[in-house]
Structure 1
Amino acid sequence: MSVLVQMNVKRVEPSPSLHSSFSDRSTQRSLSRDDRSASLSKKPTRIARPSNLKEHKTHAIETNQKDELLTKLKTAFADLIETPVNSTKTEDAYIELIKRQLGTQSARIKRLERALKEQEQHTKDDQDTVLFLLDQYPQAMSLYRQQIEQEQYDQQLTLCIEQFELQKQRMIAEYQRNFDILKSKYRSRFDDIVERMISDPSRLDDEWARRVQRDADERIQEFKRKMLLQQKLNRI
């Protein structure tokens, strides 16, 4: 049994690689110890403090960010604020300028909105007025037509009356002139007859006899007409 165990169990020999790894590790450990002792024995050199480097780097980053922000602001508000190329305004000054400009623009926008509202109100009023006028147009046109016709009729009537009055005045003047002419003729004729009668008394007797004869003839004619009328009535 012991022989079998001895046959089966082989002797384990350490491999060279394993031995080398252990030797390397021991060497590294010894070197690290030497480095530590050397670093402790040497005087430390002065180097930049990490906090100062960090602050400098942070300040540079913030400066770059501010420059980028300022550039973006200038680009975004180029149509609102005219900035010269060589402008030295800081970010805060530029932001304040933008605020003032935006305040001014807000006031202008409010005024424009108010004006637009008033314009819309005026437009609505105008539309209501137009609709009202269109609704009242037929009646208004009818009244206007009647008024025009009445005015034309009144004008024609006035013109006719004026023409009639003018013609009447002309006719009266014409009749008056003819009457004056006829009166002057009869007056001269009458004067001639009176003068003849005065100068020749026999003419007066002849004139009186002629008048008496004429009156008698007129009475006889009137009597005959009455008799004829009476006979006709009796026949009926």
Structure 2
Amino acid sequence: MSLRVEGLRAGYNGVPVLHGVDLEVGEGEVVALLGRNGAGKTTLIKAIMGLVPVYGGRVVYGNRELNRLPPYQRAQAGLGFVPDDRRIFPELTVRENLMVAHRPGFWTLERVLGLLPQLAPILHRRGGLLSGGEQQMLTIARTLLTNPKLLLLDEPTEGLAPLVVEEIARLVLELKATGMPILLAEQNLRFTSRVADRAYVLETGEVRLSGAMGDLLHREEVAALLSL
């Protein structure tokens, strides 16, 4: 199913951060949200998930409008959210972190460990003792175990070592190969150029540019908007 955002206005404490954003994520697509810090990428992801107030516009998944649904019902509808701050349970083991979110479906613990084999040897380790890269992998694995139909990734490579970023790229491409549509907010243009089909470039809460990833890479305006 496709995700559509139409004329979305959202923000905090009555002050809009997003000003009429339109976007779409089709079946099997990886779509990137690009922009500097403060451009509105995270606010947009959270608005889609129902975590910040929406002041206007619509979020439509398939044929269902989500605006009035709380976050847990959006998750039940098929949205999977991987937050930038990971939000693992530090006192629980890796296995417990994974199984607390599990819902029946295609993604089982065995399948997730096949996709992320580096988690298998540390299933007994407490979440608070993991490295940043391990925590990010755990967060993605936990979200997959909710058996989503579409993934929302918020800054998945932020603060991670280059080798871990490479692993995240592999993971995104493998998920894409399964047909999983993905919307990711990201500043790392090199990473997004490898994994994304299309991108929207945000500035001050508005879409300034959009198009195929390969086309955007050659536009001077993109480099200017991203301060590259």
TM-score, normalised to structure 1's length? Answer: 0.12
Q: Which has the higher strand share?
A: 2
Q: Which has the larger radius of gyration?
A: 1
TM-score normalised over the length of structure 2: 0.12
Greater length-normalized contact order (CA 8 Å, ≥ 6 residues apart): 2
Which structure has greater helix proportion? 1
